[in-house]
Structure 1
Amino acid sequence: MSVILPRRGFLKLSAAIGCSAAASPLLTPVSLASAPGERRLIVIILRGGMDGLDVLRPMGDRDFASHRPNLAASGRDGLRLTEFHGMHAALKDLRPLWADGDLAFVQATSTPYRDKRSHFDGQDLLEAGTIDLAPMGRRTGWLNRMLPHLPGAEERTAFALGREDMLLLTGETPVSNWSPEVDLTLSSQGLRLLELMMQSDPEMAASMAEAIALAGSDGDSVTFEMSEDAMMDEMMADAKEARKGKTHLKIADFAAEQLRGESRIASFSVGGWDTHANQQRALNGPLERLSEVILRLKDQLGARVWDQTSVLCMTEFGRTVRENGTKGTDHGTGGTMIMAGGAIRGGRIYGEWPGLAEADLYQRRDVMPTSDVRAWAAWAMHDSFGLPKSVFENQVFAGLDMGSSPNLLL
């Protein structure tokens, strides 16, 4: 049974965990929607700020190695894609997709979000598809805003419910949600903290009451008496078990099952991308999980449906061009988008490369964005569902200039 708190409530509970809580493996709801036609669209949010320079390595840029003496050296194990670009070795299992034209990348792309580099604001802007954040409670997601323009779009029957939809598919048009197992453990101190918060936060009170009821309804007791150290140990154990139990594959299996049926749109997240330290090791896990998800989707969808499918993997921002003192990277700006699927015109790199000379960097620290990630999403939806360009520029992503078609889909 899933237990999902509103992100505002979760922030209050997880402050001690640090900024990587934004990419918790426990927050993995799946949103689904029906649509007419045979095209399928899967949007995967990579929570935590994926380092696009490590995933898609510009080995042909003469400044790459000087900015990253340790990380660039690890590129010896990378996979050459073009004369200029290499792919991180942890994505080696995706190499056949590249060769078959089912894998592509967009370099130096970003949302309009700039300067503050907050995970939660960055993720909200990515999923809202807007320039600025709307007040809490008025935010809607760009996938949801597209749905009313699709004739015959319907809500897909829900399976197991958490309380929060992904913002990406949140809005006036009904969609369905499902999430894998999550158990609930609270210390007595944590319970007291919740009680204090509930006094002034009715939304949190209602959410927590439902969370406790849901957590107990599958036969597992809800634990309250536990030290704070033990609670943290339990949380880390839950996260370890989630990875060990291949939760990401359960999500891929469920999404594929629905997309083989009535559903045409699915969205979920893959976390673990906040690589402030020891990135050479820390990035392997999330890249391997993402690779497994994509290959599992291909396998479970089957050739006929895979050939009609576009997978868009998007992150809230990129990371700094220079590695830091702990052999990691910090929050940045321009990043990389990964696209997969039989409907994608793959085997190529999209977008303009800005260069890594200091004068070419954004604020002399980050990759300079040369495109708006929303435009790539808009063209993928335009080509998938045949809606007019004006719908995306005026309503789905109000004020966006999509430019000319990049011919993303076959």
Structure 2
Amino acid sequence: MDRRQWLRWGGASLAGALGVGSLSALLQNPVKAQADGYKALVCVFLYGGNDGQNTVVPTDTTRYNQYATARGALALPRNSLVPMAGTDVGLHPSMAALAPVCSARKIAAVANVGPLFGPLTKTEFRSLPGTSPLIPDNLFSHSDQQIEWEASSARSLERTGWGGRATDTLGTTNPVISVGGNGHFGLSALGTPLVLPGPGDTFGVEGLEGTWAPTVARKTALEALYQPGNLGSSNVLLDAYAQQQRTAFEVSSRLGAIVGVEPNPAAPTLIDTAFAPLTNAQGAIGTDLGRQLYQIAKLVAGRATVQGDRQIFFAQQGGYDTHNEQIAADSLSGVHARLLQGLADAMACFYNAMAAIGMGNNVTLFTQSDFGRTFVPNSSSGTDHAWGNHHLVMGGAVQGGAVYGSYPELVAGGPNDVGVSSWELHGRWIPTTSVDQYAATLLRWFGASDPQLNTILPNLTNFSTRNLGFLG
């Protein structure tokens, strides 16, 4: 039995016993004394493979015309794009909630990122055998590319994630805290991510929640049993098991109250006010990603209770495998537009929440996804699996007003397209920036030294540029 089996989502609440009133005071009037030393990274993984070509779109005449010609019915009108101040790209019109963040230059686009072992040209890609270690495993495969992105590796059998390796190497107080399930990103050599439920759910030791006397007695007895040496053996596995159970008791007691807090429209906290655009009159947040980022916002506000001055979080949004009917007839709606609106709305609320509690410069959110999608649409008004993709980084420390990395040449069969023959000219971009470089830039801001970066990201030494510059 491991920690996740001990921790239950549901049942009697621990909030009353741990003092919701004091927690609400914390969220309403956060302690800002720790702000200067605290930093958090928030990974939002877009499962299914987001179409970066319609997320970050060029606005200059030459490249926009190339884009519109190739994309056809999937092309977005240039005047509908959300301007990213200081750049010649814009965001999908459904991401309008991020317009103020774009204007403030606190969001940046990072172009054509993907898993790589080292720099790779089209000539090399076409001449190397598919089994070459220079070519990532099983390109265009959801499961393999998800692992390679979350692991920052060219190998799909990598057992740890780069978030998990970072927490091990940097010795953070907590492992990766996930509000989006047990993703590969948070796996480390020493453990698994701490997976938390959504706002309002109970986070406690299964069967031992509440204040009923027999339950309290049983919990007290188990806590005593798991103290060092009390299992009556010096067996390493038994000691490790006991330590795992002690951790489960301690973490659930410490975080249960924060997890249980939901928006209170009648007496809103600063975070509640920031998430009000997504919250109904009963205090329910209407999107899954909104609930996840609300939970993370509370954990940042309650960082004294969460403990540690460095924390990595993981959230996720699914549904991005848009092979069919990606866009509606008006070119501005459809499944992709709905997904990106949900992403942007949640991101904007989170950005405002961090600013409201004085943590805007201390928290950086970034996106990842399986892969990009083909530049040329398929015959089903959708797009297919590709490789390099465009991603977004947001926060007070972000140096906006520029596009980082190299935007691909928007020519099917061109130097960035893996295809040569007519049947394969779909615009599957060979990445010009690696996941390692992307992750290294984030982790350098987070506090990792060069030797630590080499441990966390073993392929980083293959690239001459280690800092992409999008974080101050």
Q: Structure 1-normalised TM-score? A: 0.69
Q: For 1:158 and 1:335, locate their aligned partners in 2 and report how far apart those are by CA, in whole Å.
A: 26
Amino acid of the structure 1 residue aligned with 2:150: E
1:299 is displaced (CA, Å) by 2.9
Equivalent residue number for residue 113 of structure 2: 109
The 5 A counterparts of 1:112-151 are: 112=116, 113=136, 116-134=139-157, 139-151=159-171
1:193-245 Cα distance to aligned partner (Å, 9 max, x none): xxxxxxxxxxxxxxxxxxxxxxxxxxxxxxxxxxxxxxxxxxxxxxxxxx984
Residue 179 in structure 1 maps to residue 197 in structure 2: yes
Amino acid of the structure 2 residue aligned with 1:376: Y
- Secondary structure (helix, strand or coil) at the match of 2:366 reads strand
Equivalent residue number for residue 234 of structure 2: none
1:121 is displaced (CA, Å) by 1.2
Q: Is the 8 A contact 2:176 2:314 kept in 1?
A: no
- Secondary structure (helix, strand or coil) at the match of 2:346 reads helix
Amino acid of the structure 1 residue aligned with 2:288: T
The 5 A counterparts of 1:361-372 are: 361-363=417-419, 364-365=425-426, 366-372=428-434
1:373 is displaced (CA, Å) by 2.3
Equivalent residue number for residue 336 of structure 1: 390
Q: Over aligned residues, Cα RMSD in angstroms?
A: 2.9
Q: 1:277 aligns with which of 313, 324, 340?
A: 324
The 5 A counterparts of 1:182-197 are: none
Equivalent residue number for residue 247 of structure 1: 288
Equivalent residue number for residue 381 of structure 1: 443
Amino acid of the structure 2 residue aligned with 1:93: A
Equivalent residue number for residue 399 of structure 1: 459
> Could you list the runs of 5+ residues in structure 1 that have no partner in the other structure?
6-35, 184-242
Shift of the 299–79 alpha-carbon distance from structure 1 to 2, 3 Å rule, reads: closer
Residue 347 in structure 1 maps to residue 347 in structure 2: no
- Secondary structure (helix, strand or coil) at the match of 2:359 reads helix
Shift of the 122–300 alpha-carbon distance from structure 1 to 2, 3 Å rule, reads: same
Shift of the 303–259 alpha-carbon distance from structure 1 to 2, 3 Å rule, reads: closer
Q: For 1:106 and 1:124, locate their aligned partners in 2 and report how far apart those are by CA, in whole Å.
A: 20
Shift of the 145–131 alpha-carbon distance from structure 1 to 2, 3 Å rule, reads: same
The 5 A counterparts of 1:209-288 are: 245-260=286-301, 261=303, 262=307, 264-280=311-327, 281-288=334-341
1:47-99 Cα distance to aligned partner (Å, 9 max, x none): 11011110001243142122111112544422343663221101111011111
> Could you list the runs of 5+ residues in structure 2 that have no partner in the other structure?
6-35, 117-135, 202-283, 328-333, 420-424
1:178 is displaced (CA, Å) by 0.8
Shift of the 279–75 alpha-carbon distance from structure 1 to 2, 3 Å rule, reads: farther
Shift of the 172–122 alpha-carbon distance from structure 1 to 2, 3 Å rule, reads: same
Q: Is the 8 A contact 1:378 1:402 kept in 2?
A: no
Equivalent pairs, count: 310
Q: For 1:368 and 1:130, locate their aligned partners in 2 and report how far apart those are by CA, in whole Å.
A: 15
Amino acid of the structure 2 residue aligned with 1:290: L
- Secondary structure (helix, strand or coil) at the match of 2:73 reads coil
Amino acid of the structure 1 residue aligned with 2:162: W
- Secondary structure (helix, strand or coil) at the match of 1:343 reads coil
Q: 1:292 aligns with which of 345, 361, 364?
A: 345
1:353 is displaced (CA, Å) by 2.1
Shift of the 73–43 alpha-carbon distance from structure 1 to 2, 3 Å rule, reads: closer
Shift of the 102–303 alpha-carbon distance from structure 1 to 2, 3 Å rule, reads: farther
Q: Is the 8 A contact 1:114 1:333 kept in 2?
A: no
1:114 is displaced (CA, Å) by 6.2
Q: Structure 2-normalised TM-score? A: 0.60
Equivalent residue number for residue 228 of structure 1: none
Shift of the 158–171 alpha-carbon distance from structure 1 to 2, 3 Å rule, reads: closer
Q: For 2:357 and 2:396, locate their aligned partners in 1 and report how far apart those are by CA, in whole Å.
A: 8
Residue 69 in structure 1 maps to residue 72 in structure 2: yes
Residue 317 in structure 1 maps to residue 371 in structure 2: yes
Percent of residue pairs identical: 22
Q: For 1:145 and 1:99, locate their aligned partners in 2 and report how far apart those are by CA, in whole Å.
A: 35
Q: For 2:358 and 2:440, locate their aligned partners in 1 and report how far apart those are by CA, in whole Å.
A: 24
Q: For 2:75 and 2:59, locate their aligned partners in 1 and report how far apart those are by CA, in whole Å.
A: 8
1:156 is displaced (CA, Å) by 6.9
1:367 is displaced (CA, Å) by 2.4
Q: Is the 8 A contact 2:138 2:145 kept in 1?
A: no
Larger Rg: 2
- Secondary structure (helix, strand or coil) at the match of 2:458 reads coil
Shift of the 66–115 alpha-carbon distance from structure 1 to 2, 3 Å rule, reads: farther
Moved over 6 A (4+): 156-160
Q: For 1:90 and 1:321, locate their aligned partners in 2 and report how far apart those are by CA, in whole Å.
A: 20
Residue 165 in structure 1 maps to residue 190 in structure 2: no
Q: 1:89 aligns with which of 93, 96, 106?
A: 93
